[in-house]
Amino acid sequence: MRFMHRFDPTALENTRLNDKVNYLVKLTQLLAISAIIAGVIGMLISNFSIRSLNENSLEPLGQLRLIKESFEQKVLVSARDIAEGKITDYKKVENELVLEREKINTAWKIYTSGQLTQEERELLADTDKYLTLSIRSLDRLTLAIHNKQLMEVISWTTDDAPYTVSELTPMLNKLMQTQIVNAQHLYSTTQIQFLVILFLIISISIAGAMIVKKMVQRVVQDITHPFSDLISQSNALANQKLDEPFIWTRSDEIGQVGKSFELSRQALHHSFELIRKNNLELEQINTLVRSSINYASRIQRSFLPDPRMLNHFSNDAFIIWNPKDVIGGDCYWVDKTDKGFFVAIIDCTGHGVPGALMTFVVISILDRLLSHHRHLEDPASLLSQMNRLVKETLGQYDSSSESNDGMDGAFCYIDLENDQITFAGANTPLLYTEEGHLHHIRPDKHSLGYVHSDMNLTFTNHTLKLKKGMRFYLTTDGMIDQIGGPKRIAYGKKRLMETIQEVHQLPMQQQQEIILERYYSYKGDESQRDDNTMIAFQI
């Protein structure tokens, strides 16, 4: 790159940004490789010096210390403890002394087989003699302990032990001092080598940095200086100052970016005008849609029975109807008869607008059934007829049908005159409490409607004898399937049943408050997944 030798500013401006960066990368790589090579050489020399220090001084010093510690801290202490009556387990001490003897012999062999200085060799003969006498003394002590001859042990601590400490220890100390002097010498040599290597690495790094510094400064300045202009342009665009044109004369990548800002300014000016117009139209449409959905919600609520109506038929009751959106796919029905009353809960496919449309279809069909047939004492038959009418109404005859919608639900007829309740469910169970216990009646595993369901589905009636104080609960799966809790898992049927079991003896209004409080506490900040509907009443 010619400009790198002459530092020609004009040539630098007209050079591609990629070429400038590549050149800097190559210089950096060269400097890094030089530093790595110097570091590797230093590591190898340091490693050799450390290994030499360990083999020539540290390891022999450790063997001598091991011999000394074995006699002074193991053998002598064990003999005194037995002599003073602190230890009575002779066998254990005997085994320990045998191990110490092996360690002493092994350590001495390792030491004498290593590289020794002239001074160590001169001390070696006398030390070996005293060590041999000390080991024989150790053998006599071990034999006395083996034979449990306490007086012999006491005699050893007063006669042989002082001899070992006074004769062998000084010899070992002289050898250790020799090793320490040797280690200090090797350490000094290693330090000098380390300083030389450090100086070499620093010199290479400084030399490389000096070479690269001027090149980096020139290229970096050429790259960073135009960014102030780019920042000004960006601020102008961010503040929507779109009337000021951007003029660039550079031909490199930065100049091309600056010129593209001018094109962006022109495009943004045009786009903002379109956005303002579109936002105005969207606000009008959104207002119309919200108004329509709110009106649909009022219509949907008007189709549903008054929640307080159930209290006219039972001793105490509550109805929870909480759609996920403004309108929902859950609905319920309450109807009075001469002998009692009828309760239904239905969960249609989907939620929001599609689900709400299905509820209008369902309520219309259910109202027609109850108006014409009035066979409320046979909920299973009503479910079967409901299934057939839904499929006919939605044209669900084969796989070519445009609709594949349906619902789950449960019908209950409460015959107060004969004190019995008849229940039939389509994937929706009945929960009830009797004498303090919560019971569960399983529904038929069939849904109403859908293309592939049987037009002539037959459902099952379940009849119970009514007793005073019994409480009944019907719920869709919205509350059960709600995600929440620390593990972000479903609320679950088990958790709901445990709550009902806990609060079932309270008045219905308090039960409703506690059930909703537990549900919302578990739900936390998670969004509501489905419509929630629950009906509860007491006999």
Summarize pLDDT for 195-220 with one digit per residue, the tens: 777 777 787 778 767 776 776 667 66
Give the integer Cα–Cα distance in Å for 59 and 45.
Answer: 20
Out of 142-151, 358-367, 387-396, 494-503, least confident range: 142-151
Q: What does the block give as tokens for 30?
A: 């060269």
Q: What is the pLDDT of residue 49?
A: 55
pLDDT tens for residues 156-184? Answer: 777 776 666 666 777 777 767 776 777 67
Average pLDDT over residues 14-42: 66
The CA dihedral of 370, 373, 379, 381, to the nearest 10 degrees, is -130
Average pLDDT, the chain: 81
How far apart, in whole angstroms, are the C-alpha atoms of residue 492 and residue 503? 17
Is the pLDDT at 6 greater than 50, yes or no? no
pLDDT of residue 499: 96
Contact assessment for residue 329 and residue 351, using Cβ atoms and an 8 Å cutoff: yes
pLDDT digit string (tens) for 285-318?
A: 888 888 888 888 888 888 888 888 898 888 899 9
Tell me the mean pLDDT in the region 222-243. Answer: 68
The whole-angstrom separation of Cα 9 and Cα 525 is 60
What contacts 278, CB < 8 A, 6 or more positions away? none
Distance CA 364, CA 517 (A): 33
pLDDT tens digits, residue range 36-82?
A: 776 666 566 655 555 555 555 566 767 777 776 777 667 777 777 77
Dihedral angle of Cα 106, 111, 115, 117, to the nearest 10 degrees: -160
Q: What is the pLDDT of residue 17?
A: 60
- By three-state DSSP, how is residue 364 classified? helix
Confidence of residue 256 (pLDDT cuts 50, 70, 90): low
Degrees, nearest 5: CA angle 434-436-438: 65
pLDDT of residue 12: 57
Q: How many Å apart are CA 14 and CA 250, to the nearest integer?
A: 7
Query: What's phi and psi for 287, nearest 5 deg?
Result: -60, -40
pLDDT at 246 over 90: no
The segment with the largest mean pLDDT, out of 89-98, 351-360, 502-511, is 502-511
**Distance (Å, rounded) from C-alpha 424 to C-alpha 411?**
6
Looking at domain 304-538, its CATH superfamily turns out to be PPM-type phosphatase domain (3.60.40.10)
Closest CA to 370 of 400, 321, 336: 336
Check residue 7 and give its pLDDT. 46
Contact 183, 53 (CB under 8 A): yes
Helices (H), 54-168: 59-69, 76-83, 90-113, 118-146, 150-158, 160-163
* pLDDT single digits (tens) 446-484: 999 898 888 889 999 999 999 999 999 999 999 999 999
Mean pLDDT of 370-381: 83
Distance between CA atoms of residues 127 and 121, nearest Å: 10
Question: Can you give the pLDDT at residue 107?
Answer: 76
pLDDT for 259: 67
Residue with the two structure tokens 């593990």: 487
Q: What number of other Cβ atoms are within 10 A of residue 18's Cβ?
A: 10
Instruction: Tell me the per-residue pLDDT of 400-437, one tens digit each, with 9 for 90 and over.
Output: 778 888 999 999 999 999 999 999 999 999 999 999 99
**∠ at Cα 479 (476, 480), nearest 5°?**
85
What is d(CA 205, CA 217) in angstroms, rounded to the nearest whole number?
17
CB of 496 closer than 8 Å to CB of 477: no
Half-sphere exposure of 61 (CA within 13 A, CB side): 15
Alpha carbon distances (Å) from 186 to 51, 58, 59, 63, 180? 11, 10, 13, 18, 10
500 and 515 in contact (C-beta within 8 Å)? yes
For residue 518, name the pLDDT band (cuts at 50, 70, 90): very high
CB atoms within 10 A of CB 104: 23
- CATH number for 3-222: choose from 1.20.120.290, 3.90.1520.10, 1.10.3720.10, 1.10.10.10: 1.20.120.290
66 contacts 103 by C-beta, under 8 angstroms: yes
* pLDDT attached to residue 230: 66
Q: Which residues pair with 472 in a beta bridge?
A: 432, 537
- Using one digit for the tens of pLDDT, what is the confidence trace for 95-153? 877 787 788 778 788 777 777 777 777 777 777 777 777 777 777 778 877 888 878 87
For position 331, what pLDDT does the model report?
Answer: 94
**Is the pLDDT assigned to residue 391 strictly greater than 80?**
yes
Q: Please, which residues have CB within 8 angstroms of residue 201's CB and are 6 or more apart in sequence?
A: 35, 38, 39, 42
